Amino acid sequence: MSRDCGLGKAIRRQVLAGLGGILIAGCTGEPRDLARPAAASRSGSPSAQPAEGRPAPVKQADPDFDARVARPAYTTAHPRVLVDEAHHNFHKASGRYKPFADLLTHDGYHVAANRQKFAAEELRKCDVLVIANALAAEPGRLGDPAMAQPAFTPDECDVVHDWVRRGGALLLITDHYPFGWAAKDLAQRFGVETRKVYTVDPPHSQGDPTRILFTDTNQLLRDHPITRGRDESERIHRVLTFTGQSLKGPEGSVAFLQLADSALDLTFPDQKPLPAGRRAQGLALHYGKGRVVVMGEATLLTALVAGPARRRLGMNVPGIDNRQLALNILHWLSGLMGPPGEPTSAPVPGSSGLRQSRGAAAAPR
């Protein structure tokens, strides 16, 4: 029996229905003005509410997510994190990525939104650039090809590439089609391959073939400072992703969320299965003097509620370490972690060494 038949038409129908009915349908209900009065969340800031007369989005930021950090990493210096909102982003710090932004703020980072095309002058002012699910057009119907066109101009890709090579840190968060495809040009600048797919792995899934569980027991969590943390209390044991794509990194990169041999990529829209084993949903690499993390799924680094039942998705799901993973990724990107001997990618011509921490002071442990 072929892997195609073994996967089963029912599973493929289930996955496609989930993509169309939940992941993309949520786009049209994203509130534009999040500064209106709203009930305070446990993070200490107002929760987003839809505008009057506008239907509530299928998925929205969890207003009850507790973003407080018991031992903030930064108490004196505060690295500047710039979260992109200039490229039709499905996830924004003012919307579905508000729990992520709140978490970083409580950990001591200064978080700001980017609302213009990437320019060298602006990037020089930040320490970490976060791009989450950028698109070439406003989110709409799943099959709209306009969304999957390149989200960034060639000049913007050059600016980000050169900034990282000189010491910047990039967190590029992609997802299933169309998001990964829209970001492929920028990912390729760092040797990372995306696909026009969504990824399934029934033997390593939890409740849905696209919700993949990475644990130290199933050996899909690979060793890296991001999974080790700064001490045992920060070590990652269980990570759950919520329908993404697979990535392939360059030589020397580390797949800290590595897909099993049983994983398959289903192409969009024909759902042809492609082997995804040994690819990844989380990659880390050094690039010149800078650092890059690329993710193949976005919900794992935020906290959402979905539908009338307010089903939890992301960092707010009990029994997983996604919340600590988000902190560890930023700790590594901002230079708090990375001992001598850490695996590195091949050096970029004209540059040498690792990115140096920009005066960041870690909190006492």
Residue 269 preceded by cis peptide, ω within 30: yes
User: Kind and range of the H or E element at 121?
Assistant: helix 120-123
Residue 202 pLDDT > 70: yes
Q: What residues make up the domain containing 146?
A: 3-31+58-333
pLDDT of amino acid 199: 98
Do the domain assignments include residue 48?
no
pLDDT of amino acid 58: 83
Residue 19 pLDDT > 60: no
**Average pLDDT along the chain:** 83
Do the domain assignments include residue 66?
yes
CA within 13 Å, CB half, 108: 19
Do the domain assignments include residue 40?
no
Do the domain assignments include residue 264?
yes
- The residue ranking higher by pLDDT, 303 or 145, is 303
Q: How confident is the model at residue 8 (pLDDT cuts 50, 70, 90)?
A: low
Q: pLDDT tens digits, residue range 214-268?
A: 999 999 999 999 999 999 999 999 999 999 999 999 999 999 999 999 999 999 8
Residue 158 pLDDT > 90: yes
Do the domain assignments include residue 24?
yes
Q: Positive or negative CA dihedral for 122, 124, 129, 135?
A: positive
Do the domain assignments include residue 8?
yes
- Please state the domain count of the chain: 1
pLDDT of amino acid 169: 98
Residue 345 pLDDT > 70: no
Residue 266 CB partners (closer than 8 Å, separation 6+): 7, 12, 15, 197, 198, 199, 200, 272, 273, 274
Please report, for the domain that includes residue 290, its CATH number. 3.40.50.880
pLDDT of amino acid 139: 82
Residue 193 pLDDT > 70: yes
Residue 9 pLDDT > 50: yes
Strands 280-287 and 273-275: unpaired
Residue 348 pLDDT > 90: no
